[in-house]
Chains A and B, each alone.
Chain A
Amino acid sequence: MAVSIIAITSKYAPGDKSNLIAILQDAQKKVGYITPEAVDKISGHLNISRSQIYGVASFYSQFKFNPPGRNSIKICLGTACHVQGGDFLLNALNSEIGISPNETTEDEKFDLDRVACLGCCALAPVIMVNDAIFSNMSVVKMKDLLDLYE
């Protein structure tokens, strides 16, 4: 993995701090998330401390610090879904698969994200698993749904 990070950083001028986000994006594309090793390498290359890199990366929700699961769940907590009980879904999910947003289950089956709107508010509450949207969710429906995934 270290080699692939070096392959990324070597494309950018050493010490040029303005490239930080671009490098982070490349690193995430390659590995799927931002690893501590990647932060180490980038820190050495750009001469920015690891804490500061983590500070920047954790500011943007696009960067993940956990390996992605085989299936990714996005749970909508936008206004309509929130009103329709998106929170209940989130809590139920939490107790069902044991993770909070931005985390990945231990068996790497699922990772979980919360999103602000999926664009189908009339069908609230909705969740999205991989590329499919599931509408008018309830806790019971959701549990059945998760069983379909490996």
Chain B
Amino acid sequence: MRQDKTHITALIDGEPVRVRRGDTILDAARKEGIYIPTLCYLEGMKSYGGCRLCLIDIKGGRGFPAACTTPLEPGMEIRTKTPELQTLRRNILEMTLSEHPYTCLVCADKKECGEFMHSTRKAGTITGCNFCTSNGDCELQDLIDYLELDDVRYPISYRGIPPVKSNPFYDLDYNLCVHCGRCVRICNEERNSNVLAFVERGNSTIVGTAFGESQTSAGCEFCGACVDVCPTGSISGKLGKWAGPPSRSVKTTCTLCSVGCSMNVNTRAGKLVDVGPAPGGRMDPPQLCIKGKFLAGDITEHPDRITVPMIRKNGRMVEVDWDEAIRVAAENLAAWRGNGFGIIGSAQDTLEENYSLQKFTRAVMNSNNIDLISSFPDPRLQEEIASHLQPKGRLEDILKADTLLVLGTDASVSHPLVENRIRKAYNAGRKVLYANSEATRTSLFSTVEINYSKCKDYNFLFVLLAELARETISGLPAGFAKQVKESLLISGLKSCSVKKDDLQAFVKALVKSRSLCIIVDESLLRDVSGLQTIKALANIRFLKAEKSNCRIMLLGNEGNLMGAAMAGAHPYLLPGLDPVSDDKALLKWNKNWDVKLSDVRGLPCNEMLSNIGRDGISALMIAGDVPVSGNLGKASLKKLKFMVQLNMFSTELTDHANVFLPVTGFLENDGHFLTLDGKIQRLHRAVPPQGKSRSVSEIISLLAGAMKADGFSTGRAGAVWKEIGSSIKIPVPQNGSPKPRFELMKPPDSRNAGSGKKSGSGKNHQDHYRYRGNRLSDLVTDLQALLESGMKEKV
């Protein structure tokens, strides 16, 4: 072991360690697996040095410095567990505990507490006090064990602070708080939500908000980071608060948005405890947002879940067993093979589930009418995105870029973990150019901000591109030069009410940038000029890519939108993005599945819905919920001959369904998921399927079996994934993409104010809280209360 420029060596408890120069003693010890007790330490965050429990003894040094704030120096000899240190630490912990209910410390039944707490039996086995939540995950307990503390010499000083239960999703009991400051730091430094602070002074110091207002009114985003890091349970999630210590932890992936965060799910005897760090993992919990942390759990064990199949008999839905439900569904579906049948899937389902759905549509039902609830109104967009917006921006690119161009997103609500990176980039002094038609919380973290008129996204993008083109390249493409004459530019600016100075500030920053990351909300592509928008974005990248690094990140609202299309859940595209209109591709899939596929392009979701009855669509299978309004009115539902609904909840649509098949949620599923940055994430079954519910793929297999179709596996995620892998690769590699070039676009209509009307496809753009089309605010009362109190407006 030797010292060099980047690494140093030292001795910790007699063990030689070698770490990077600048690492703290605590980092080094943790790396070597040497335990030093801590309370305020959080992995990956600035050292705080607040709890003083990580004191260590350095040979020849004066006093006992804190390991978390002292950098390791070459040749140091450190001892972490001497009797002297232990005594010091015990004294410190004693003082900490003097304000914390420490009855459990001296309780004779401490050992049984975790198991039997809140038992209803009136037997001698009942133990447990009511001071803290019973998730058994108390770091103070661990410290007490390590320091062999068996009594506290100070009188109990119970603070008597009333617990706060008025916030949605979590409860506060600051009588348990030990002022480690983890929640305050993670809220401000990591999440930049800036809700929590230490208020008051001395004995009356408490974690709180301005003027004692509720967390909700202080602008809490309910990311749950404070709940995850709290070592004592002063902040505890309402779900699972009294569920007991978890017996099993499973890592899986959140599919509620396209970021695809890793999450950890704790269960006890098959019951959900919470979504949060695994026991012992509070120093480095996975960062989630309100959706993953709270909503995912709340919908999985929701009391309104329907877990038994139902069929319509004499106008009423009645519960039946799976065999009967599948038989009825299969018999009726058999009558509607061909183009009169369609499936509407969900982009929040796994690749396997979407693959199964589309295979069923094509191979069994002989139709190409397969699309997603949240698909783009113009199906061609999916191909264009795949070919134009490559290479994809990755999450880590946001922090690597020197300039961010944030277009039209409300990332703090739609993609909080992307927002998290944007905020970090802003705090690191990067340029954040923010353009949107409405002010959002993201705009607080921007260096330059442009607010253009509503629905004028493309107008703005066009003038931005024109101005950028004039600054960066000398010979503009002829057609484009004509489009961007000065006079047209001014009218262009006027059409989206942007000031020329503001635009110039944008362009100046873009020209200067050496590494650019463009973050675009999918709503820009849902505009009628979506195809042009893609071209404009690709052109900006083309202009920048010559001299610098430029990546584009598209924020799809519903997780797997791109992945599902790659798995074939698309009316125009077979799996692997093979066009239906391509004979060769069709032949290939005929061979793969040993069937004769229809060569008629399918109908996109909105057309399927509007074509009901008009000798278009007669039978539908809907994997989720489509609001009964607009394209899908009650009148057109009456014309529908047969409908199968696959959902977790009964919705308005269920009143019109002939068969209802209960499906599992994503916490109950295995599978794969394609994130917005093109990574494959794995889902693992964390909770057993509720009641009799089954995964979409399993249901499809049963249906295919009942319809005597060959080539369908058991529907287990592993088998389906193997089948997908044998024929295509996901993400589909974009090989042989043409050399990037400047593509001419249609200039935006700068006069007609109504031209930018957005057209949806059964999706409400403002409502980012959906799962398989179900409005989560209707299901989770806490979310409803939160949205009503106007979380978004709080800045």
Q: Name A's B-contacting residues (CB within 8 A).
A: 36, 39, 49-55, 58-61, 65
Cross-chain contact of B218 among A51, A59, A60, A65 (Cβ < 8 A): A51
Q: CB-nearest residue of chain A relative to B211?
A: A36
Cβ of B216 within 8 Å of any chain A Cβ, yes or no, is no
Assess whether A52 is in contact with B188, with CB atoms less than 8 Å apart.
yes
Main secondary structure of the interface of A (DSSP, over half): helix
> How far apart are A63's CB and chain B's nearest CB, in angstroms?
11
CB-CB under 8 A for A54 and B210, given A49-B194, A49-B195? yes
A58 and B200 contact, CB distance less than 8 A: yes
Q: A36-B210, A36-B211 are in contact. Are A51 and B201 (CB under 8 A)?
A: no
Residues on B with C-beta less than 8 A from A36 are 210-211
State whether the Cβ of B335 lies closer than 8 Å to any Cβ in chain A.
Answer: no
Contact mask for chain B residues 180-201; partner A; CB cutoff 8 A; 1 contact, 0 none = 0000000010000011111111
A61 to B200 alpha-carbon distance, docked (Å): 9
- A53, A59, A61: the one contacting B210 at CB < 8 Å is A53
How many angstroms from the CA of A120 to the CA of B199 in the assembled complex? Answer: 32
By the criterion CB–CB under 8 Å, are B200 and A51 in contact?
no
Least CB distance from B297 to A in Å reads 27
A-B contact pairs, 20 of them (CB 8 A): A36-B211, A39-B210, A49-B195, A49-B197, A50-B209, A50-B210, A51-B197, A51-B199, A51-B210, A52-B188, A52-B194, A53-B210, A54-B211, A55-B197, A55-B199, A55-B208, A58-B200, A59-B201, A60-B201, A65-B211
In the bound complex, how far is the Cα of B210 from the Cα of A58, in angstroms? 9
Most-contacted residue by chain B among A36, A39, A58, A60 (CB, 10 A)? A58
Residues of A near B194 (CB, < 8 A) are 49, 51-52
Q: How far is the CA of A136 from the CA of B535 in the complex (A)?
A: 85
Closest approach, in angstroms, between the C-beta of A20 and any C-beta of chain B? 13
Complex Cα distance, B317 from A68, in Å, reads 67
| Chain A residue contacts of B210, Cβ below 8 A | 36, 39, 50-51, 53-54
A-side contacts of B197, CB under 8 Å: 49, 51-52, 54-55
Please give me the residue from chain B that is nearest to A60 by CB atom: B201
User: In whole angstroms, what is the CA distance A58 to B188 when docked?
Assistant: 18
Q: With A51-B194, A51-B208 given, can you name 8 additional A-B contacts, CB distance below 8 Å?
A: A39-B210, A49-B194, A49-B197, A50-B218, A51-B209, A55-B198, A58-B199, A59-B199
Q: Which residues of A contact B211 (CB under 8 A)?
A: 36, 39, 54, 65
Q: CB distance B200 to A59 under 8 Å?
A: yes
A2 and B195 CA atoms in complex are apart in Å by 23
Sorted nearest first, the 10 A-B pairs with minimum C-beta distance are A49-B194, A55-B197, A54-B210, A51-B197, A50-B210, A52-B197, A51-B209, A58-B199, A55-B199, A59-B201
User: A54 to B209, Cβ gap below 8 A?
Assistant: yes
The CA of A50 and the CA of B211, in the complex, are separated in Å by 9
Chain B residues with CB under 8 Å of A58's CB are 199-201
In chain B, positions 127-155 with a C-beta closer than 8 Å to chain A are none
Contacts of A55 in B (CB 8 A): 197-199, 208
Give Cα A112 to B37, complex, Å.
44
B98–chain A nearest beta-carbon distance, Å = 22
Q: Beta-carbon contacts of B199-235 to A below 8 Å, as 1s and 0s? A: 1110000001111000000100000000000000000
What is the distance, in angstroms, from A21's C-beta to the closest C-beta of chain B? Answer: 14
Give the docked Cα–Cα distance between A58 and B205 (Å).
9
Q: Residue of A at shortest CB range from B218? A: A51
- Verify B188–A49 contact, CB threshold 8 A: yes
Residues of B within 8 A of A59 (CB): 199-201
In the complex, A52 Cα to B200 Cα: how many Å? 11
Once the chains are docked, how many angstroms separate the CA of A58 from the CA of B200? 5
Question: How many Å lie between the Cα of A90 and that of B31 in the bound state?
Answer: 55
B444 closest partner in A (C-beta): A47
Closest chain-B Cβ to A113's Cβ sits at a distance in Å of 15
- Residues of A near B209 (CB, < 8 A) are 50-51, 54
B648 to chain A, nearest CB (A): 38
Name the A residues within 8 Å of B198 (CB-CB): 55
A52 to B199, CA, bound (A): 8
B188 & A54 in contact (Cβ 8 Å cutoff): no
CA distance A100 to B199 in the complex (A): 18
Interface centre among B197, B208, B218 (most CB of A within 10 A): B197
Complex partner residue of B195 from A51, A53, A65, CB under 8 angstroms: A51
Question: Bound state CA distance, A119 and B323, in angstroms?
Answer: 90
Instruction: Find chain B residues with CB under 8 A from A49 CB.
Output: 188, 194-195, 197
Residues of chain A with a CB closer than 8 A to B188's CB: 49, 52
Residues of B contacting A54 in the complex (Cβ-Cβ under 8 angstroms): 197, 199, 208-211
Q: Nearest Cβ in chain B — how far from A101, in angstroms? A: 11
**Inside 8 A of B196's CB, which chain A residues have their CB?**
51
The minimal Cβ–Cβ distance linking B444 to chain A, given in whole angstroms, is: 8
Q: Which residues of A contact B208 (CB under 8 A)?
A: 51, 54-55
B474 to chain A, nearest CB (A): 38
Residues from chain B with a CB closer than 8 A to the CB of A52 are 188, 194, 197
Residue of A51, A53, A55 contacting most chain B CB atoms (<10 Å): A51
Give Cα A36–Cα B188 distance, bound, in whole angstroms.
Answer: 20
Nearest B residue to A48 by beta-carbon distance?
A: B194
Instruction: With both chains docked as a complex, state the minimum distance between the C-beta of A62 and any C-beta of chain B, in angstroms.
Output: 12
Distance between Cα atoms of A65 and B210 in the complex (Å): 11
Min CB distance, A61 to chain B, in Å? 8
A136 to B349, CA, bound (A): 78
- Complex Cα distance A39/B218, Å? 12
Question: B311-326: contact bitstring with A at CB < 8 Å (1 yes, 0 no)?
Answer: 0000000000000000
Cα A50 to Cα B197 with chains together (Å): 9
How far apart are the CA atoms of A55 and B199 in the complex, in Å? 4
A54 to B211, CA, bound (A): 7
Complex Cα distance, B219 from A50, in Å, reads 10
Tell me the smallest distance from the CB of A27 to a CB of chain B, in Å. Answer: 14
Smallest distance from the beta carbon of B177 to chain A beta carbons, Å?
A: 15
**How distant is A48 from chain B, measured CB to nearest CB, in Å?**
8
Q: Which residues of chain B are near A65, meaning CB under 8 Å?
A: 211
| Chain B residues positioned under 8 Å from A39 (CB to CB) | 210-211
A51 to B199 Cα, complex, angstroms = 8
Specify which chain A residues have a CB less than 8 angstroms from the CB of B200 in the assembled complex.
58-59
A51 to B209 alpha-carbon distance, docked (Å): 5
Chain B min CB distance to A116 (Å): 13
- Chain B: minimal CB distance from A66 (Å): 11
| A146 to B527 alpha-carbon distance, docked (Å) | 71
**Bound-state Cα–Cα, A59 to B210, Å:** 12
Contacts of A53 in B (CB 8 A): 210
How far, in Å, is B532 (CB) from chain A's closest CB?
Answer: 37
Near A by CB (< 8 A), chain B positions 395-428 give: none
Distance in angstroms from B783 CB to nearest chain A CB is: 23
